[in-house]
Every structure is written in structure tokens, then in C-alpha cells.
Amino acid sequence: MSDVEEAITRAHHDEWARVVAALTRRFGDLDIAEEAAAEAFATAVERWPANGVPPNPGAWLTTTASRKAIDRIRRENKRDDKHREAQMTYDDPPEPVGVIDDDRLRLIFICCHPALATEARVALTLRMVGGLTVPEIARAFLVQGTTMEQRITRAKAKIKAARIPYRMPSADDLPTRVSGVLAVLFLVFNEGYLASGPDTDPVRHDLTTEAIRLTRLIRALLPRDGEVAGLLALMLLTEARRTARISANGELVALDEQDRGAWDAELIAEGHRLVRERLAAAAAGVAPGRYQILAAINAVHTSARDIRDTDWSQVLALYDQLVRLDPSPIIALNRAIAVAELDGPEVALAIIDRLAEALAGYHAYHATRADLLRRLGRSQQSRAAYERAIELAGNTGETAYLTRRRDQLQ
């Protein structure tokens, strides 16, 4: 890759969200902002090899995109209408003191607005903030490109029709809205961490990387938000194990079988720093949220040099804390895994059997139950549970792992 190509790639990585956000603020229209930004980058690909990389690529791209947007408005002969729409954006009431003013953050809050369906929030965030192409997003979520294009188009149309303002939420609404943004990013990360499609790689590094990048952006914009720090730490500590999670033949490698020397020490160190930061806040009386507790659980796992060194009593104590915040069946299932390590598989099995109705269609429930039954020597029941887990699992690496475990039963 030439220096100019590297500069264009870096500019897309660093400036896409800024350019789209600046144009959305100026013109009050996501369609115009997206198209003009894409045209500006296409122009850079044409001109920079001949003319050289400008001293300030971001400013060049924003200026070029603004001109493209104005040209489109003139072509459509709707200048007055667009001007009025943009003016409405400027005429919104002033924001409360203390709310961060950043175009990119405004853009993220628009893309993750609660008026939009979750799948639309994910697609719009990846397109407008992440800069992924529509085909890339479609491949990530295993739908046709035309389907994803329609999904994004409908989301933008809804924002326009509902006159969702291009502004930060009020100080009172900010915590709730931030949690919605984090939920979208966590969804993107989880799809990469354990890809659900039968015809895709078991781990999608492109999605986990993008989710981490966007969470870093939120962290830079909201550095005092504990749940943002917690989610970033959780992602980093999970991503650190990525290369050890899949074997050479594409099979999922369980935590107790992973080569811990292959874990990314740098990501683990960063994740641990963030967890320690939040523990200090908790000691000062700031109650941790869901992502912070999940990050702390992952910190315990990644602190152990061997699975036998895991502090399961600490893991269980953290799950007990998490259950009080999130008493969902999935959290109860994960807690039961820690119980099995401390009190034995029979006690844990009694716990998860009470979750049967709630988690009947969840592959991890049947996989966990199969493992506990195996440890208790109940091979026939274990086999049936493994087969149900295999039926429900969509991830290719996980299916291979479960199949091997089933076939090893005596």
C-alpha cells in the first residue's frame, strides 16, 4: 500500500464520522450528509495521488463534502426547503450546561434514537458513524445488500419524518440514552465475538474491532461515564482472548482449554486498568453498573495464569451482585457455572433446571446442562442435551466443539 493509500485509509478511519456529523449539523439531513461524505472520499481517491495529501485531510474532506452537498441541493432545486430544515436544527433550544457538545456524539445519539428499531440502530450506527459500506453491514448480519439498504433508508426517513432533532439529550435523559448507545455497540461486539451465521467465520474480527473503536470514541467523549469504561474494559478483555478461542481446524476452544500465553497482554493490561479505575470509584461510593461488573468478572478470569488459579468465589460474588441489577435467566445460567466450580455440578444442575422453560431455545443452556450431566456420569442425558445444543447453535466453531464433546461421551 502506498503512502497516499495509507493516508486515505487513515483519513476514512479518523474523519468519516466527523465529516458526516458536521454535514448533518449544517444541512439537517442524513441522506445528504452520507452521500456528500462518500463523494468527498471518492474525490480524495482521485486527486490525492496526483496532488498530494493535503496538510489537514479532515478539513479538506469536510470542505469538499460541503460543496458536494450544496451541489446536490441546487440540483434538486430544493434549496429553500433544505435551508428551512437546517434552520430548524439551529433554532432548537440551547442545551443545558454541562452536556458535552460534539458533533460525532450528536450523530451517535441520532443513530441510536429509541424511536428506531434495534436492528435499524445497529445498521445506521455502523454506516453513519463507523463508515462501513452497506454491503459490509449486510454481510455482517447475513442479509441481502438491498435489504440492508432499505433498512438504513427507512431509518433515515423515520428520523426525518419524526423530526428527531440533531442535538444532545438533556442532562436528565443522558444516562438512559447512553445506555441505549452502549446496548447497540455491545450487540455489534457480540455478533463479532460469536458470529451467529452458519456460513460465516466463527469469530468476526471486523465487527469486534469496529465495536471497540466506536466504544473508544464514546469513552473519549464521555470519559467520566462508568458504564462506558466498563463496556470498553469488557470488550478489551474478551477480545484479548480472540486468537486462543478458535483452533486451527475452526473449533471453539473453551476457556479451560485455551493457551493463555496466546492472550493479548496489552489489551488485558488496558482492560485491567479500566476495571481498577471503576473499582476505585465503587470504593468511593459510586455503584457499578452491569457492564462494569461483567468487566470485573472477565478481569478475574484473565488474571489467572491457569484455569485452576481462578478465584471462583470472587466470580460468584460478582455474579451475585450482577443478579441484583439484572435478574435475567442468562445471568442466572452464567452464575450457575461458577456455583458448579465451588459447590459441584449437582448443585449447579438443580439451579439451571429451574431455568428450563425460560431458556428452552437457548443453545448455551443445553450446552451447560450437557457438561454438568457429563461430569455427573449421566452420559445418556448428557448426549441428548449436547444434541439439542448442536441443533440450536448457529456458530460453526461452537457446533464443532459441541459435536466433539458429545462424541467423547462413553
Domain annotation covers residue 398: no
- Predicted confidence (pLDDT) at residue 156 exceeds the cutoff of 70: yes
64 or 172, greater pLDDT: 64
- Predicted confidence (pLDDT) at residue 56 exceeds the cutoff of 80: yes
- Predicted confidence (pLDDT) at residue 340 exceeds the cutoff of 80: yes
Domain annotation covers residue 20: yes
How many other C-beta atoms lie within 10 A of the C-beta of residue 181? 24
Give the per-residue pLDDT at 198: 60
- Predicted confidence (pLDDT) at residue 118 exceeds the cutoff of 60: yes
Phi, psi of 252 (to 5 degrees): -60, 135
Give the per-residue pLDDT at 81: 58
Contact 103, 74 (CB under 8 A): no
Name the band, by pLDDT with cuts 50, 70 and 90, for residue 99.
very low
Contact 40, 66 (CB under 8 A): no
CA distances from 91 to 94, 97, 108, 376 (A): 8, 17, 20, 68
The torsion of the CA quartet 395, 401, 403, 409, rounded to 10 degrees, works out to -150
Q: Which domain holds residue 23?
A: 3-75
Name the band, by pLDDT with cuts 50, 70 and 90, for residue 28.
confident
- Predicted confidence (pLDDT) at residue 337 exceeds the cutoff of 90: yes
Give the per-residue pLDDT at 24: 87
Arithmetic mean of pLDDT, 25-47: 89
Arithmetic mean of pLDDT, 100-118: 80
Q: Report the percentage of the chain scoring pLDDT > 90.
A: 46
Domain annotation covers residue 241: yes
Q: Report the percentage of the chain scoring pLDDT > 70.
A: 91
Write out pLDDT tens, residues 65-88: 999 999 888 887 655 555 555 443
Domain annotation covers residue 55: yes
Give the per-residue pLDDT at 78: 56
Q: What is the pTM of this model?
A: 0.77
Write out pLDDT tens, residues 1-26: 688 888 888 888 888 888 998 888 88
Domain annotation covers residue 238: yes
Give the per-residue pLDDT at 195: 66
Residue at which a domain ends, from 43, 75, 107: 75
Write out pLDDT tens, residues 220-231: 888 889 999 999
Long-range contacts of 100-103 (CB under 8 A, 24+ apart): 100/168, 100/221, 100/222, 101/168, 102/221, 103/18, 103/21, 103/22, 103/24, 103/25
Name the band, by pLDDT with cuts 50, 70 and 90, for residue 90.
very low
Sign of the CA dihedral 311, 312, 313, 315? positive
90 or 3, greater pLDDT: 3
- Predicted confidence (pLDDT) at residue 252 exceeds the cutoff of 70: yes
Domain annotation covers residue 28: yes
Give the per-residue pLDDT at 378: 96
Name the band, by pLDDT with cuts 50, 70 and 90, for residue 307.
very high
Residue at which a domain ends, from 44, 75, 106: 75
Query: Over the range 136-166, which residues count as b (16 or more CB within 10 Å of their CB) and which as e?
Result: bbbbbbebeeeebbebbeebbebbeeeebbb
Domain annotation covers residue 132: no
374 or 112, greater pLDDT: 374
- Predicted confidence (pLDDT) at residue 361 exceeds the cutoff of 70: yes
Write out pLDDT tens, residues 162-212: 888 777 777 777 777 888 889 888 888 887 887 666 656 777 777 888 889
Residue at which a domain ends, from 276, 310, 344: 310
Looking at the DSSP bridge assignments, the partners of residue 246 are 252
Name the band, by pLDDT with cuts 50, 70 and 90, for residue 142.
low
Give the per-residue pLDDT at 98: 39
305 or 106, greater pLDDT: 305
Domain annotation covers residue 60: yes
Name the band, by pLDDT with cuts 50, 70 and 90, for residue 291.
very high
- The number of folded domains in the chain is 2
